[in-house]
Amino acid sequence: MKALKEIVSWIVPIVIGLLVALLIKDFVFQLVRVDGPSMQPNLQNNERVLVFKQTKIRRGSVVVFDANGVDPQATVKTDYVKRVIGKPGDTVSANNGQLYVNGKKVNQDYISSSERSTGTGNWTMASISQANKWQKHLGATKVPKGEYFVLGDHRSVSNDGRYWGFVPKKKIIGVVKVPFWATNKTERSNVNTEWKNFFD
């Protein structure tokens, strides 16, 4: 009996700890690994970041979402990391390396002038939806209700909303925050607080 009590005294805290860890992962935050160069220079391939699941999604927020059902090439659950440019109801366009949301020029100091212009081109959502044959919302002029328009920071290599359209909110896992011990201060700020330089 004494041995059983001792075993239980070890098992119960372990089970509680596992349950707490699972609850935190499902509802609060989780650690994820960045895969690929599409968010350079602000996030690097194989970098570990935190994803907070209850943080408000804003223009300029960097988010993780399940691309399965969003990008036709993602045929299984695949997490993408991108930056939110347009919220529901927004119009988004690009002209000579500048981004415009609802006709207002977006501050893009978080990437270089070459990263802004290389691979960006001149477009509206309607024109890129037709050019890239979006499977949903073909010809859309605004971001639909409950969805977001996202781009990678490294525009010339990023597979993002320009090519397949919008991300439903239900697909977004959470907002990325770079921990204080990772990357340099500028890159950390470009991910964690760049949304403050956008407009609400």
What would you measure as the largest C-alpha separation in the chain, in angstroms? 77
More confident residue, 41 or 20: 41
Spacing of C-alpha 171 from chain mean position: 10
1 has pLDDT over 90: no
SS3 for 55? coil
Query: Shortest CA distance to 82 belongs to which of 122, 121, 120, 42?
Result: 42
- Rounded to an integer, the average pLDDT of 170-185 is 86
**CA–CA dist 4, 14 (Å, integer):** 16
**How many residues appear in the chain?**
200
Please report the beta strands in the chain, taking only residues with DSSP state E, as ranges in sequence order: 29-33, 48-52, 62-66, 79-86, 92-95, 98-101, 104-105, 123-124, 147-151, 167-168, 172-177
102 has pLDDT over 90: yes
SS3 for 19? helix
- Rounded to an integer, the average pLDDT of 91-114 is 91
Tell me: the pLDDT tens digits for 45-91? 989 899 999 899 999 999 999 999 999 999 999 999 999 999 999 99
Question: Percentage of the chain with pLDDT > 70?
Answer: 84
- Rounded to an integer, the average pLDDT of 8-21 is 54
- Rounded to an integer, the average pLDDT of 116-120 is 76
DSSP3 helix / strand / coil % (the chain, rounded to 5): 30, 25, 45
With bands split at pLDDT 50, 70 and 90, how would you rate the model's confidence at 115?
confident
Burial of 72 (0-12, 13-18, 19+ CB in 10 A): middle
**Dihedral through CA 107, CA 49, CA 72, CA 54, nearest 10?**
-80
Reply yes or no: is the peptide bond before residue 13 cis, omega within 30 of 0.
no
More confident residue, 143 or 48: 143
**Amino acid 33: pLDDT:** 87
pTM of the model: 0.85
**Amino acid 23: pLDDT:** 43
**Amino acid 27: pLDDT:** 46
Active-site amino acid positions: 38, 82
Sorted by sequence, the CB contacts under 8 Å of residue 12 that are 6+ apart come out as none
Q: Supply φ then ψ for residue 127, to 5 degrees.
A: -70, -40
22 has pLDDT over 60: no
**Amino acid 197: pLDDT:** 87
Q: How far apart are the first and last CA of the chain?
A: 63
